[in-house]
Structure 1
Amino acid sequence: MQEKLERRSFILSLILVSVAFLVLIKPFFTPIFWACAIALIFYPVYRLLMQRFPNSPNSMALLTLFMCVILLVIPVLVVATSFINEAVTLYQKVQEGQIDVSKSLEQVRNAFPRVNDMLEGIGVDIDEAKQRLLGGVMNAGSFIAKNAIEVGQNTVNFFVMLGLMLYLTFFLIRDGDRLVNLIIHALPLGDEREHLLLAKFAEVTRATIKGNLVVAITQGSLGGIIFWVLDLPAPLLWGVLMTLLSLLPAVGAALIWFPAAIYLYGIGEPVKATILLAYGFTVISLVDNLLRPILVGRDTKLPDYLVLFSTVGGLILFGISGFAMGPLLAALFLAFWEIFMREFVHPEDMLMPPKPESKDMLMQHKKDNA
């Protein structure tokens, strides 16, 4: 009886201490997540370096971290800074009247009278919709401008978080295998289940950040280039927006370039509009179909509808980091249910048999850690 009471008291204390620790590190959740993600992506580089220089783990981890900063961190900072500058400049031009958004919308409206008649026929108030759109544009510009000021004021906090992320990334790269084995030993879920869940975590994280991000950056870059070639305003701004929207399947960058083509038709630029439409359908949209199967893989990719909902939900809950966290949570959700169906539900009771990819993932994970 005494031993049972002691065990229960210890488990309760363990839970309370763990919850308190999670609350303690909650402000650092984002840098911790990105440190884990970056370590997963660059860990193969570290392993390759360690094969050549097996007696220098600290130096090789530091070299890997340096490559991470050069290839990932610095380009992201440069693009983010340029994006904010262009957004603020564009917002100021709209405020000062150098760009008349109302006039442009009126030109588009006059260019498509049949569309206006159709919208009015179904009860849509064109003038009210126009005012709402103008208000949304101004609010978006104001939001970006205010946040740019806040980013400037919180520069010290940003670089502290960046420093913590890189500091943790170094240790995760150097001690990754030992930490994974420690987690597997500590968690009471069963070694095979833990291997499967960790393999799923690694797979989806790599696919989302490396694969989907490369696809998004490619689409955004191509979109920004065509905007620059056609002499449209703020090509870098629209290119970054296309990059962000390209993380969403089914819709993606078309939310920017297609309305832009309609706008060009409306203001009397049919040649530019036709070029943009043709380029969007034949180049930008095909990038997803060509690159995603190579970088992500059809067999391990989540269904497009699940990626869409989990990405949007992740962005709402976690901010910009949600494009990776959302699909990751969705993948872990499916992995837990797959384990449940495989181990706790009789095969004859299942409507659909589980895919054989779980065993392949487990074997691949064990092979990678060998």
Structure 2
Amino acid sequence: MTTNTSPTTKKIVETAIKIGMILLLFVLCFYIVQPFIVPLVWSLIITVSIYPVYSRIVILFGGRQKLTAILIILTLLLIIAAPCFVLVGTIASNIEELVTKLSDGSLTIPLPTEKVAAWPIIGESLFKYWTLASTNLLGTLQQVAPQLKMLGKWLLTSSFSLTVSILQLVLAIIISGILLVNAEGGRLLAIAMGKRFVGERGEEFESLSTETIRGVATGILGVALIQSLLAGLGLVVADIPSAALLTLACFFLAVIQVGPTFIMLPVTIYVFSAHDTLFSLTFMAWAIFVSLIDNVLKPLLIGRGSRIPIVIIIIGVIGGMIFSGIIGLFVGPVVLALGYELFRAWVFEGE
């Protein structure tokens, strides 16, 4: 028995099979590339951000692109990745030393001064537990054992996540060196893809994306540098131990948009216990100023020179970070800027 299949039905079946195969191919490609998506996105951001510097150095080196890319990779690893590993290593060694001292009973906590009890709100409670910890550390630790267990789990998880992020950053820096050498080809590919989506405005949209990424990168790094330098100045004046390491930590926290508050808050508590009231209040005011100054500087630096309204950029930065973390800081404003331009093109079409 034979069945007659119309040409239209056969064409529909063949088309469905082709579409299914293409979708299957895309799904497989996604799962294969998925572990590298974050480093690849970071490498694109790094490449776009530092390409102007790369171009100038290539000219100075007589057109030696590979040599320039290698030098830039090594410099970035030295400036960004190496301090991160040093910071993680220092934290790990300090934790190990703390555990060792707790185990052999050699850890001692100095008694608090009477000024601690006079602090508003938390003074009396802090003085009580501080004194108890100074005289009976083991008993105090037993009282707060459940909280310490939760804190330990959080620290372990955070340390693992931080280590993975640093390794991803190292991989992204290495990939960015390869992309720098092939930057012109990548730019032409981006323009071609843009033209497939938006026609002749593809090159304009490529330029807009590049401009937005560089503006955000300049703003974030600039604000982080200013905040960390101001924080470091306060730490040096207050004669805080390991001021250089804490300044580096402030820079790192500012870059990842956590801010230096997590460093300045415990340091401020230490200053109140070690210095007189006037100096402590002055340092606290300085710490608050340093922690909040990014709210003023970010709009000024990120939106400088951009053709997109600053409100769009700031909403993109904040919304992108809430949606997808640190990478969203860059992806958010780019997506919103492109959407804004497409909306304008649709509204004012033909004018």
Report which of the two structures shows the higher radius of gyration computed on alpha carbons. Answer: 2
Deviation at 1:74, TM superposition (A): 1.0
CA, structure 1 residues 247+230, in 2 after alignment: closer, same or farther (shift >3 Å)?
Answer: same
Distance 2:53 2:348 in 1: 43
Correspondence for 1:297: 304
Partner of 2:340: 338
1:23 matched residue in structure 2: 31
For 1:281 and 1:271, the matched residues in 2 are separated by: 15
Give the TM-score, by structure 2 length. 0.67
Instruction: Give the direction of change, closer, same or farther, for the CA distance of 1:44–1:180 in structure 2 (3 Å limit).
Output: same
Alignment of 1:72-83 (within 5 A): 72-83=76-87
Q: 1:338 to 1:252 in 2, by over 3 A?
A: same
Shift of 1:83: 1.0
- The alpha-carbon deviation at position 216 of structure 1 amounts to 1.0
The correspondence for 1:209, drawn from 214, 217, 220, is 217
The CA deviation at 1:75 is 1.8
Counterpart of 1:185 (choices 175, 179, 192) is 192
**Residue aligning to 1:307:** 317
Q: 1:37 aligns to what SS in structure 2?
A: helix
Q: Unpaired segments of 5 or more residues in structure 1?
A: 118-126, 316-322, 348-370
Q: Distance in 1 between matches of 2:93 and 2:237?
A: 20
Contact 1:212/1:247, CA 8 A, preserved across alignment: yes
Residue 190 of structure 1 aligns to a residue in which SS? helix
2:43 and 2:173 in contact (8 A); partners too: yes
Question: C-alpha separation between the residues in 1 aligned to 2:337 and 2:192?
Answer: 20
The alpha carbon displacement at 1:190 in A equals 2.0
In 1, Cα distance between equivalents of 2:32 and 2:190: 20
Check whether the contact 2:192–2:202 (CA below 8 A) recurs between aligned residues: no
Cα shift readout 1:214-265 (whole Å, capped 9, x = no counterpart)? 321332244245324424344355334422443477x832453245324532
1:327 aligns with 2:329: yes
Structure 2: segments with no counterpart, 5+ residues: 1-7, 125-139
Partner of 1:354: none
Structure 1 residue 114, shift from structure 2 partner: 4.5
* 2:209 aligned with 1:198: no
Counterparts of 1:56-205 in structure 2, within 5 Å, are: 56=63, 59-70=64-75, 72-92=76-96, 94-95=98-99, 96=101, 98=107, 100=109, 108=116, 110-114=117-121, 131=144, 138-139=152-153, 141-143=155-157, 147=160, 158=167, 162=170, 165=172, 168-186=175-193, 188-192=196-200, 194-205=202-213
User: Structure 1 pair 277/306, CA: closer, same or farther in 2 (3 Å)?
Assistant: farther
Find the aligned partners of 2:17 and 2:202 in 1 and give their Cα distance: 26
Q: Distance between the aligned counterparts of 1:225 and 1:259, measured in 2?
A: 16
- Aligned-partner Cα distance in 2 for 1:341–1:254: 39
Specify the alignment match of 2:251 in structure 1: 243
Q: Call closer, same or farther: CA 1:40–1:248 in 2, change over 3 Å.
A: closer
Provide the aligned length of Structure 1 versus Structure 2. Answer: 314
Q: CA deviation at 1:189?
A: 0.9
Question: Pick from 39, 42, 47: which aligns with 1:34?
Answer: 42
- 1:212 Cα deviation (Å)? 0.5
Q: What TM-score results when the alignment is normalised by the length of structure 1? A: 0.64
Aligned residue for 1:320?
none
- Over the aligned positions, Cα root-mean-square deviation in angstroms equals 4.5
Distance 2:147 2:276 in 1: 22
Distance 1:94 1:63, change over 3 A: same
Percent identical residues: 18
The DSSP-based 3-state class of the residue aligned with 1:297 is coil
**CA 1:306–1:135 in structure 2 vs 1: closer, same or farther (change >3 Å)?**
farther
Counterpart CA distance in 2 for 1:141 and 1:235 is: 22
CA pair 133-289 structure 1, distance change in 2 beyond 3 A: farther
- 1:298, 1:61 → 2: CA distance? 31
Q: Secondary structure at the match of 1:48?
A: helix
Structure 1 residues 25 and 12: CA distance shift in structure 2, 3 A:
same
- CA distance in 2 between counterparts of 1:308 and 1:133 reads 32
What's the CA shift string for 1:133-191, capped at 9, x where partnerless?
766655555556x649x95xx9xx959x84x6455434422322222323433463123
CA distance in 2, matches of 1:264, 1:52: 49
